[in-house]
Amino acid sequence: MISKLNLFNVYLISRRISVKLAFLRNWIYVLEAVSFVICLVSMFFKEFKLALFILVIMSVLLLILIFEVIILFISSSLSKKNTEFKYLPGGSLSDWYEPTYNYNEKISWLDYVLGKLEDEGVRLESIRILSTSANKGKYEYEISKRYPKSKIIATDISIPKDHVGSSGNFTYLSEENNALNANSYLAKINIENVDLIWDIKGALWYSGKRKKLEILLNEYYNILDVEGVIIFDAYDYSREYFKNTLNSEAEGYRESSTYTRIKRKLEKSKWFNIHFDLDFIGDGEYKVAIMKKKEKRKNQTKEQGV
């Protein structure tokens, strides 16, 4: 079996090649077009040797384009199966965290969201909070300072070297932890349940098809205490965010929110309706979803499980 490290190296190499080839792509299109015209003209003047030579050049260019598509396919399918690759050094999203964090700091995102949650009666002091996809863990550390009587646990499937270290009521679990195994990694630190799961643009965002989303939510359901909640970002995706992707200088979000990504799947999931209630607070980029655990009904059948 190929090890994770080898797979990551294949991902890095294929990504580097595809970034370089992407740069050449437009030039190749231009060369193909020019060659095509020269080929037609030389055939018109019965210069068949020249036409053949141009055809060879066009075929080589075409092979480069096909090679690029294959390389792109390899790097994107590897990162699709191993989300953590994207966030490690050299990965396509390794520079994602800081600009988003700086932007959120500028718009006082965390302050506003925490204030709104408090206003809505979500308890944040004297509780156990788990952030399953914390990346560097800066928001989580700030939460730990704001609620000194709460216990904050942060981790991620991809551990950045410069994550915030554990201190006081803040613990960063620095082994690679998949949110799908939250039960077992919490058990290792003798924690059975938490009251709040913080999952901003993280494991839920990456959960994939409906069945996989239900498996992840089932894991969350099992570790949540009575009336426990999951908090995730829910701003309505708009053209603004797409425009940001086109301008590398633009500040602000570039991707859809977690709710936008999972909305349809939640609507279609009977399992979800049986296990959770869903509510929203805040507006615009401050809008977050509160998923509240429902208590299991006594007559809930086995078939309703995941």
Ligand X SMILES: C[S@@+](CC[C@H](N)C(=O)[O-])C[C@H]1O[C@@H](n2cnc3c(N)ncnc32)[C@H](O)[C@@H]1O
Which of 208/225 has CB closer to ligand X? Answer: 208
Spatial distance between the Cα atoms of 287 and 259, rounded to a whole number of angstroms: 10
Cβ 198 to ligand X, closest distance in Å? Answer: 8
What minimum distance in Å lies between the beta carbon of 76 and ligand X?
A: 16
The nearer residue to ligand X, 54 or 204, going by C-beta atoms, is: 204
State yes or no: residue 237 binds ligand X (CB under 6 A).
no
Residues 6+ apart with CB under 8 A from 2: none
**Range 92-121, binding ligand X (CB under 6 A):** 96-97, 100
Nearer Cβ to ligand X, position 135 or 269? 135
Q: What backbone torsions phi and psi does residue 128 show, to the nearest 5 degrees?
A: -105, 125
User: CB-based burial of residue 76 (10 Å sphere; 0-12 exposed, 13-18 middle, 19+ buried)?
Assistant: middle
* CB of 87 closer than 8 Å to CB of 93: yes
Q: Which is nearer to ligand X, 135 or 171 (CB)?
A: 135
Q: Which amino acid is at 63?
A: L
Query: Which of 135, 150, 256, 258 contacts ligand X by CB under 6 A?
Result: 135
Q: Which span sits near ligand X by CB under 6 A: 57-65, 129-137, 220-228, 256-264?
A: 129-137
> Which amino acid would we find at residue 152?
I
- Contact between 258 and ligand X by CB under 6 A: the answer reads no
Rg of the chain's alpha carbons, rounded to an integer? 25
Site string for ligand X, 136-175 (x = CB under 6 A): --------------------xxx-----------------
Q: How many residues bind ligand X (CB under 6 A)?
A: 21
Q: How far is CA 46 from CA 40, 41, 50, 52, 113, in A?
A: 10, 9, 9, 11, 73
The answer to whether residue 203 forms part of the interface with ligand X (CB under 6 A) is yes
Residue number, 39 or 200, with CB nearest to ligand X: 200
Q: Cα separation of 203 and 180, whole Å?
A: 8
Residue among 11, 87, 235, 276 that touches ligand X (CB under 6 A): 87
Cite the beta strand spans of the chain per DSSP E. 128-131, 151-156, 170-176, 194-198, 224-233, 276-281, 288-293
Q: Which of 18, 35, 42, 132 binds ligand X (CB under 6 A)?
A: 132
Q: Between residues 68 and 170, which has the closer beta carbon with respect to ligand X?
A: 170
Selected from 18, 35, 133, 257, the binder of ligand X by CB under 6 A is 133
Cβ 97 to ligand X, closest distance in Å? 6
DSSP class of 175: E
Q: d(Cα 189, Cα 153) in Å, to the nearest integer?
A: 10
Question: Distance between CA 42 and CA 3 in Å, rounded?
Answer: 53
Decide: helix, strand or coil at residue 39.
helix
- Cβ neighbours, 10 Å, residue 15: 22
- Of 42-50, 109-117, 130-138, 262-270, which segment contacts ligand X by CB under 6 A? 130-138
Q: Which is nearer to ligand X, 50 or 180 (CB)?
A: 180
Closest CB to ligand X among 127 and 134?
134
Kindly list the residues in this chain that would bind ligand X in the complex (CB under 6 A): 83-84, 87, 96-97, 100, 132-135, 156-158, 178-180, 200-203, 206
